[in-house]
Amino acid sequence: MADLLAVKIKSSTAAKPRMSLHEDVVARLRDMILHGELSPGEWIAEMKLCNDLAISRTPLREALKVLASESLITLLPNRGAIVADIRVEEIAELFEIMDALEALIGRLAVERASDADIASLQAMHETMVAHHDGGARDAYFDLNQAIHQRIAELSGNASLASTYAGFAGKIKRARYLANLSDARWAESVREHKGFMEAFANRDAASFSLLLKEHSENTGAVVCARLRDRASIQGGK
């Protein structure tokens, strides 16, 4: 228990490197899009954003180029930019890829993670559960994403972890906008508890399967909610 507490303290007090202005603007705009503050199809009001972020147009436009490369916005020649729409069909396809990646990651992570790695991940998991119990949805969501990415890194395959991060980024906005119900949120926590137990027991087959099933369940719910959302908007 003392070792686990030490891991928690270390992870919470570790200094983060200072971001440059460019990195900061990109990160803040990305969060605004991923968290729905800037909605799909919304026009990017450059002057308002410059005022809100206390920056000039040059760093804003450089940041917009980065977000365009991530398919989060669409640049329109001589007409500015809009937040990119979300296609349910594309999200469904991406989840199919993620399902397969989760299975591979699970097997490799069990084989290659150290006991300290697993203890650190367990500390992250316990904090995530606390966020759920406290109703802190945004904090839960962000830590949930970090846990899955950390598992990918524990596969010991940098190319796999990078590929996973790329696809996770593409579906992150869809997952957030789907605004999962409290019932699915609780179910997701139970699924996390299940695969974390398998990880602690170094049960590669169970861990791999449970990660894949968790991804499948999440994908099914997200796509269903996005279709409902599109139907409601189409009926307006």
pLDDT at 7: 42
138 is a domain residue: yes
Same domain, 47 and 144: no
Instruction: DSSP letter for 55, please.
Output: -
Tens-place pLDDT, residues 137-179: 889 999 999 999 999 999 999 999 999 998 998 888 888 877 6
Final residue of a domain: which of 55, 83, 111?
A: 83
In angstroms, how far is the first alpha carbon of the chain from the final one?
Answer: 55
**Residue carrying structure tokens 């919304």:** 42
Same domain, 48 and 111: no
Same domain, 169 and 195: yes
Same domain, 78 and 46: yes
Q: How many CB atoms lie within 10 A of CB 60?
A: 18
Q: What is the DSSP string of 174-202?
A: HHHHT---HHHHHHHHHHHHHHHHHHHTT
Final residue of a domain: which of 83, 101, 117?
A: 83
Asked whether the predicted pLDDT for residue 1 surpasses 50, the reply is no
pLDDT at 160: 97
5 is a domain residue: no
d(CA 144, CA 195): 13
Q: How many CB atoms lie within 10 A of CB 48?
A: 9
Final residue of a domain: which of 29, 62, 83?
A: 83
d(CA 118, CA 147): 11
Confidence of residue 205 (pLDDT cuts 50, 70, 90): very high
In sequence order, the 6+-apart residues with CB closer than 8 A to the CB of 168 are 98, 145, 148, 149
64 burial class (0-12, 13-18, 19+ CB within 10 angstroms)? buried
Same domain, 54 and 131: no
What CATH number is associated with residue 66?
A: 1.10.10.10
pLDDT-wise least confident of 144-148, 202-206, 222-226: 222-226
Tens-place pLDDT, residues 104-132: 999 999 999 999 999 999 999 999 999 99
3 is a domain residue: no
Same domain, 117 and 137: yes
Which CA distances in Å does 221 have to 3, 42, 180, 202, 212?
A: 37, 25, 8, 29, 14
Same domain, 44 and 111: no
Tens-place pLDDT, residues 36-85: 788 888 999 999 999 999 999 999 999 999 999 888 899 998 888 999 88
Same domain, 72 and 157: no
d(CA 104, CA 101): 5
15 is a domain residue: no
Q: Tell me the pTM.
A: 0.78
Instruction: DSSP letter for 41, please.
Output: T
| Tokens (6 digits) for 138 | 């945004």
185 is a domain residue: yes
10 is a domain residue: no
Same domain, 43 and 133: no
Same domain, 59 and 135: no
100 is a domain residue: yes
Which CA distances in Å does 212 have to 16, 49, 79, 146, 230?
A: 32, 39, 42, 17, 27
Same domain, 78 and 184: no
Same domain, 105 and 138: yes
Q: Considering its fold, how many domains does the chain have in total?
A: 2
* Domain ranges, residue 55: 21-83
